[in-house]
């Protein structure tokens, strides 16, 4: 089975490129990560046209997305140097002080979006995140002192919990991310992953980043799941009352086909949906109501 690629983020980056043709977009620094082997900045970039939404970027030194290039990260100053629009050089700083008597923090967030913070956690923990669409849309501001990625990931998960967001490890490759009050409804189940007979003939690992949903709709998610299940979809057969939530998922590490199917199944559950057979060749979404562990 060929790996399915869903680089939906490219659609929005294209919009940012169009804006750059008019004038450089201002950038706000919302975070700095300074760890051995992982150094990056989180940025919020505004569109140059009225009512254009802001774009959240995570860049390492030397990386560029559309009109924004990150030249240098200066953790000791809580600042970064950017080139915007090809020629406009600027230094932008975090809105809060980053240094303490204990030293320069490994992670300093100042209003970082939950999306950016989750991407940082996924990188540090090397886990693919199974995110609920009901997570609060809030900016995160805190500092983390840590010596390595593993320690930073643990502290970051604890910081999420203080903001009402639970991160539940699910096996070695996944983590469920949901509201604290929903933990009892979605237990970790990756230990139940079982390959089918067809999977035994397809040992290819699906490369990291092959699936990258950044607010994908139910049609895109259903299409992806169908491909990994050897079936197809026909939205004409779907019930009209099927909701259309936003799906967020990136496989942080290589996954097998059964692992990818499991990821999609949990994502649908978190969105109140379940994919079921529709005849011999098709799949369709139906509503799903989770039950708490105490009620089973």
Q: Are 228 and 1 in contact (CB under 8 A)?
A: yes
Q: Are 188 and 176 in contact (CB under 8 A)?
A: yes
| Integer Rg of the chain from CA | 20
Residues 216-228: pLDDT tens digits?
Answer: 999 999 999 999 9
Does residue 296 register a pLDDT over 60?
A: no
Domains and CATH numbers, the chain: 25-182 (3.55.50.30), 190-295 (3.55.50.30)
Across 206-214, average pLDDT: 95
The one-character DSSP state at 172 is T
Residues 72-86: pLDDT tens digits?
Answer: 999 999 999 999 887
């Amino acid at each position: 089975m060929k790996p399915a690629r869903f680089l939906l983020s490219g659609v929005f980056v294209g919009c940012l490129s169009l804006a750059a043709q008019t004038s450089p977009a201002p950038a706000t620094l919302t975070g700095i990560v300074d760890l051995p082997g992982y150094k990056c900045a989180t940025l919020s970039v505004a569109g140059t046209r009225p009512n254009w939404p802001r774009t959240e970027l995570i860049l390492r030194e030397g990386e560029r997305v559309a009109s924004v290039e990150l030249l240098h990260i200066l953790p000791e100053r809580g600042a970064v140097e950017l080139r915007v629009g090809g020629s406009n050089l600027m230094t932008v700083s975090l809105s809060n002080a980053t240094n303490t008597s204990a030293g320069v923090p490994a992670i300093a967030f100042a209003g970082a979006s939950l999306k950016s913070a989750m991407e940082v956690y996924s990188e540090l923990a090397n886990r693919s995140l199974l995110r609920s669409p009901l997570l609060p849309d809030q900016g995160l501001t805190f500092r983390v002192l840590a010596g390595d990625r593993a320690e930073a990931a643990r502290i970051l998960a604890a910081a999420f919990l203080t903001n009402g967001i639970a991160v539940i490890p699910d096996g070695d490759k996944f983590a469920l991310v949901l509201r604290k009050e929903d933990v009892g409804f979605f237990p970790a189940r990756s230990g139940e992953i079982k390959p089918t007979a067809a999977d035994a003939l397809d040992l290819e690992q699906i490369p990291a980043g092959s699936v990258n949903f950044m607010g994908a709709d139910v049609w895109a998610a259903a299409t992806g799941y169908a491909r990994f299940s050897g079936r197809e979809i026909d939205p004409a057969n779907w019930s009209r009352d099927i909701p259309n939530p936003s799906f967020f998922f990136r496989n942080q590490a290589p996954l097998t086909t059964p692992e990818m199917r499991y990821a999609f199944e949990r994502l649908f559950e978190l969105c109140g949906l379940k994919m079921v057979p529709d005849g011999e060749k098709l799949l369709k979404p139906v509503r799903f109501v989770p039950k708490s562990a105490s009620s089973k």
